[in-house]
Copies of this chain bind each other. A is one copy, B any other.
Amino acid sequence: MNNKHNMQLLQELSEKNGPLCVGLDTSASYIPQNIIKSIGSETQAVLEYNRAIIDRIAADKSACCCKVQIAYYEAMGIEGLKVYSETLKLVRKAGLIAISDIKRGDIGATSEAYAKAHFTGDFETDIITINPYMGFDTLVPFSKYAVPELGGKGAFVLLCTSNPGMLDIEHQELKDGRHLLECVGDEIARIGKEYAQYYAEQTCGVFGAVVGATQENYARFLRDKYADTFFLIPGYGAQGGSARIAATLLDKAGGTVNSSRGILCAWKKDAELASKIESESLTLQDIADSAARASLFSKQDLLNAKKSL
């Protein structure tokens, strides 16, 4: 039995390996046709692509975790979900923390089924993402798995996302002057305090929050208000967020900064590979090398931004 929960283990690893989270939102369209042909199927190609990248970032210690976006695997049907299951196993075996980006959330009995689905069995992971829209009773079946006996499982709850539509609901101004998302943030912090009883030396809450790297002032406000909450930070890299805003969010309890296409598709912009791309002779090793360089660059970019804060 561990005396640290998964969010705390992630917090520690982000100190050791740096704050980068590699997002395995792997679409077969990111993989060169010659590689898919040689492997024989799109789904197997996705698995081998993930394997090559996971192995390199684990060896380089350029990231602390991988976020696996289940939607891309669901889109490939049953075979895709087998690859999803295998990918989670590879991430965890490599000594990295696995975050399953599933954004589930439902009434009690159904959330119980989702918690069983993603904290045990074929799709077992370390930390999931949760959509809190239906209310805080929907979080309880997930937080039950945060006790040491059930693996100290964690969750990042959607707080302030990085898409344009975040204004439609998350940022609605309430009658009492708060933004709606503060209801969610307050509940995440409360759950963190509640579970401190199981972890004597807790350094962050069992539940973290998804906070996009999109607006600097607001990032500072959320970072200060939820000082003990570890953040999962999308919106860096391909989504257009900046390292500076991410660095603000990495302050206090810290966080992990996701980059997906910036790592997965680094080979497309890699000048060294131009002739291989043209001659259709690119290998998985080439792709993993590009991904490794992009990961190390992103890690350094984030650490520099953090220093100059």
The reply on A297 being an interface residue by CB < 8 A is no
The reply on A158 being an interface residue by CB < 8 A is yes
Q: Which residue of B lies closest to A117 (CB)?
A: B74
The reply on A116 being an interface residue by CB < 8 A is yes
Q: A121-B75, A137-B163 are in contact. Are A169 and B180 (CB under 8 A)?
A: yes
Number of A interface residues at 8 Å Cβ cutoff, please give it.
Answer: 58
Bound together, the chains give a CA A170 to CA B108 distance in angstroms of 16
| Contact (Cβ within 8 A) B166 A117 | no
The reply on A175 being an interface residue by CB < 8 A is yes
| Contact (Cβ within 8 A) B163 A107 | yes
| Contact (Cβ within 8 A) A136 B75 | no
A55-81 toward B: CB 8 Å interface, digit per residue (1/0)? Answer: 000000000000001011011111001
| Contact (Cβ within 8 A) A77 B121 | yes
Chain B contacts of A168 at CB under 8 A?
A: 132, 135-136, 183, 187
Chain B contacts of A133 at CB under 8 A?
A: 131-133, 158, 169-170
Q: A163-B135, A172-B174 are in contact. Are A78 and B74 (CB under 8 A)?
A: no
